[in-house]
A and B are shown apart, each in its own frame.
Chain A
Amino acid sequence: MSYSITEPSRAQKWMAGILVVAYAVITLLPLIWIIATGFKSPSDSIAYPPKLFFTPTLEGYVNLFTTRTRQTAEFLAANPPQTWYQEIVAKYGMVIAGPSRFGERFLNSVIIGFGSTFLSVFLGTLAAYAFSRFKVPLKDDLLFFILSTRMMPPIAVAIPIFLMFRQLGLSDTHLGMILLYTAVNLSLAVWLLKGFIDEIPREYEEAALIDGYTRFQAFRKVVLPQAATGIASTAIFCLIFAWNEYAFAVLLTSGNAQTAPPFIPTIIGVGGQDWPAVAAGATLFLLPVMVFTILLRKHLLRGITFGAVRK
């Protein structure tokens, strides 16, 4: 890109930099507060007034992964704490009754989030390729139909989906949730990917076809590598949605296939909500999608505009 005449002046750059950094700091404060709360003790977390400085502890993380309970005095005397995490719990006269459900919920999120992301990108690429390259009857109508499916509020379709899943034995299963999230994400995936594939010059495939490749081979060996960046950015957006989705998850899943978003706000400690454990859960839950996004950040911009920005 050339910025010969229109290149901003040094002073302008400084001002812009300061303003952006100021915004970033303000916007990061709640996030930092979440991360910091994960390392507070329960009483520090609800301190009045709030505490900026505190002794960090792993209580939040211990509480996130365990179920704790009071025990009778005899039991406590007979079973002194063996490990560091048992000691943390023992301070409150409690024992660890077992693991919490967080691990399972997190694993469900991984299976459902990544599973549906893969499936939507896979199906989306096929469909986008077909829409981009072939004459599909009623193409425009189909494309608008695909987009319009995203306009339904999840609550609005939840009742029939709930009834349908119950009939098919899909309620509260991983497969059901993967199919559901895939369907919700497909509209986005098809539209994004069509933009990317439209940009790949047709000549490459034609050359491959003339070289004796079949359509499938040309698609796999020529188009897919070219569309890789587009696929990556589509994957980010599909993952952010599927990873964080709440409404369907809370209505359609329970013991078996529930993901982490409905679970995290419900982590309780003694009596009330266990804020350090909630914060610890939120922090851990942010990590995978954050890493995924940072790895693929170069493609974020192109993805967000349906590939309308050229490199």
Chain B
Amino acid sequence: MTRQLILSAAAAALVSGAGAVHADDLTLCWAAWDPANALVELSKDFEAQSGHKMSFEFVPWTSFADRMLNELNSGGQLCDLMIGDSQWIGGAAENGQYKKLNDFFAAEGISMDDFIPATVAGYSEWPKGTPNYWALPAFGDVVGWTYRKDWFARPELQAEFKTKYGHDLAPPKTLDELKQIAEFFQNREIDGKTVYGAAIYTERGSEGITMGVTNILYNYGFEYQNPAKPYDLQGFVNSPDAAKGLQFYKSLYDCCVPPGSSDWYMSEDIDAYKSGQVALQMNFAFIWPGVNADPNVGGDKSGYFPNPAGPKGHFAQLGGQGISVVSNTNSPDAALQYIKWFAQPEVQKKWWEMGGYSALKSVVEDPGFATSQPYAQTFLDSMAIVKDFWAEPAYASLLLAMQQRVHNYVVAGNGTSQEALDGLVADWTEIFEDEGKF
């Protein structure tokens, strides 16, 4: 308390010197990861311009949802600004935890048409498909793949691959090709070390395995619900095609992952890739700047490709977040001022340069963008095919059920894929019943 007083007193002193009227102490909450650190650095401009003091509260991904939803649900006043996960938007909007931003956008001339459509739909809208905005797209993210370009380029491996599979060893276009490559590298001896096929998401505790398996499920024809009848799950979640997709994920887990990768998410996949254990890595796009700069696997040694197509479609799991104003804040004006500052094209451009994935069209559609970084084109291609998990108020329960069912089948090897998805339909039906959706 005293610390905050001193800080705000100090900030006030600074500002009165600068001639500003009012200085607030804003706390921005987000996950603890590279982009968040970049935002700290980026926000120094805002502090200098506005006189407001920025504080940050970053929570690691695996406990991010728990901690921050706890904060929102308990009406806490820790956060003024929240870069909350895309799936929270329904709950936060319906429970009045975020401020609605439509009027503010209109007053400040911020148009959602200036942002990548998938990010507006994914991060800002609730109900989905309606022009009700609760956040400004802050960080575009999507699951994609990283591969060892240097290994792929070895002539002897290329030759062997070609004789074995009849096509070139190159970034895969389909999930079957992906599996071939993973199989090809699994247990291969490279530079005296045994390496493995692919690092994929298998984490149990938060959202890991769901964020991984959906990439495959979508492309095999899985649907969250009957497109014609909301909350009608039977035959969509657990269609035979979806079951095949889940089976594919298990076969990938069984054949082609490093030993011990039963509880892996972003961080463990990165460790495996950077330590040279795997040829392929599934991960969110946010890691690409870090991979590119890595002393061991960075630069020319790594390449990037979007999630490959499956038999029934071509999608990738959406990640990323929008920035919202928490309803409970004591400084709504300063918080909105921050969003206004953040939405400026120059700031967004700098955001991209520092490793933040801007969702602003003027940044990503700039002719120089696609070649500005080796992963820029892959990011654009991936953002064009995104699909997201439920964003319902009950999303946490829906996610937990999926985590448990899928992990139990894929990692622990219990039952069949059809049984797992049938169980998931039962769980989700119960949740929607509790929610009074039927």
CB pair B193–A254 under 8 Å, yes or no, is no
Give the B interface residue count (CB, 8 A): 44
CB-CB under 8 A from A12, the residues of chain B are none
**Given A43-B296, A171-B74, A172-B76, is A98 in contact with B40 using a C-beta cutoff of 8 Å?**
yes
Give the A interface residue count (CB, 8 A): 33
Partner of A97, one of B40, B55, B268, B289: B40
Is the CB of A162 closer than 8 A to any CB of chain B? yes
Is the CB of B163 closer than 8 A to any CB of chain A? no
Bound form: Cα–Cα A97–B350 in Å? 15
CB pair A93–B27 under 8 Å, yes or no, is no
Bound form: Cα–Cα A98–B40 in Å? 8
Is the CB of A201 closer than 8 A to any CB of chain B? no
Q: Which residue of B lies closest to A73 (CB)?
A: B353
CB-CB under 8 A from A16, the residues of chain B are none
Is the CB of A271 closer than 8 A to any CB of chain B? yes
CB-CB under 8 A from A98, the residues of chain B are 40
Bound form: Cα–Cα A166–B70 in Å? 12
Binary contact track B24-55/A, C-beta < 8 Å → 1, others 0:
00010000111001101100000000000001
CB pair A271–B287 under 8 Å, yes or no, is yes
CB-CB under 8 A from A68, the residues of chain B are 37
Q: How many A-B residue pairs have CB under 8 A?
A: 100
Is the CB of A272 closer than 8 A to any CB of chain B? yes
CB-CB under 8 A from B290, the residues of chain A are 270-271
**Given A70-B289, A270-B34, is A48 in contact with B355 using a C-beta cutoff of 8 Å?**
no
Pick from B82-90, B122-130, B131-139, B273-281 the stretch touching chain A: B273-281
Q: Which residue of A lies closest to B71 (CB)?
A: A254
CB-CB under 8 A from A46, the residues of chain B are 271, 274-275
CB distance from B288 to the nearest CB of A (A): 9
CB pair B355–A70 under 8 Å, yes or no, is yes
Binary contact track A187-201/B, C-beta < 8 Å → 1, others 0:
000000000000000
Is the CB of A72 closer than 8 A to any CB of chain B? yes
Bound form: Cα–Cα A47–B289 in Å? 21
Is the CB of B57 closer than 8 A to any CB of chain A? yes
Is the CB of A95 closer than 8 A to any CB of chain B? yes
Partner of A95, one of B27, B41, B268, B293: B41
Is the CB of B354 closer than 8 A to any CB of chain A? yes
**Given A48-B275, A255-B57, is A272 in contact with B268 using a C-beta cutoff of 8 Å?**
yes
CB pair B266–A48 under 8 Å, yes or no, is no
CB pair B63–A266 under 8 Å, yes or no, is yes
Binary contact track A42-82/B, C-beta < 8 Å → 1, others 0:
01001111000000000000000001111111000000000
CB pair A72–B293 under 8 Å, yes or no, is no
Q: Which residue of A lies closest to B289 (CB)?
A: A70
Is the CB of B291 closer than 8 A to any CB of chain A? yes
Is the CB of B78 closer than 8 A to any CB of chain A? yes
Partner of B276, one of A48, A72, A95, A172: A48
Bound form: Cα–Cα A49–B76 in Å? 46
**Given A72-B353, A268-B60, is A48 in contact with B193 using a C-beta cutoff of 8 Å?**
yes
Bound form: Cα–Cα A166–B71 in Å? 11
CB pair A69–B353 under 8 Å, yes or no, is no
CB-CB under 8 A from A273, the residues of chain B are 267, 271
CB pair A93–B40 under 8 Å, yes or no, is no
**Given A70-B355, A271-B287, is A266 in contact with B32 using a C-beta cutoff of 8 Å?**
yes
Residues of A161-215 contacting chain B, CB below 8 A: 162, 166, 171-172
CB pair A93–B271 under 8 Å, yes or no, is no
Partner of A271, one of B34, B57, B193, B296: B34
CB pair B38–A72 under 8 Å, yes or no, is no
Interface residues, chain B, CB within 8 Å of chain A? 27, 32-34, 37-38, 40-41, 55, 57, 59-60, 63, 67, 70-71, 74-76, 78, 193, 266-271, 274-277, 286-287, 289-291, 293-296, 350, 353-355
Could you jot down 17 A-B contacts, CB within 8 Å? Answer: A46-B274, A69-B41, A70-B289, A70-B354, A70-B355, A71-B41, A95-B41, A97-B37, A166-B74, A172-B76, A250-B67, A254-B78, A255-B55, A265-B60, A266-B32, A266-B63, A268-B34
Interface residues, chain A, CB within 8 Å of chain B? 43, 46-49, 67-73, 92-93, 95, 97-98, 162, 166, 171-172, 250-251, 254-256, 265-266, 268, 270-273
Q: What 4 A-B pairs are tightest by C-beta distance, nearest first?
A: A272-B267, A272-B270, A266-B60, A69-B37
Given A43-B296, A272-B268, 12 more A-B residue pairs with CB atoms under 8 Å apart are A48-B275, A97-B41, A162-B74, A166-B74, A172-B78, A250-B63, A254-B71, A255-B78, A265-B60, A270-B293, A272-B271, A273-B271
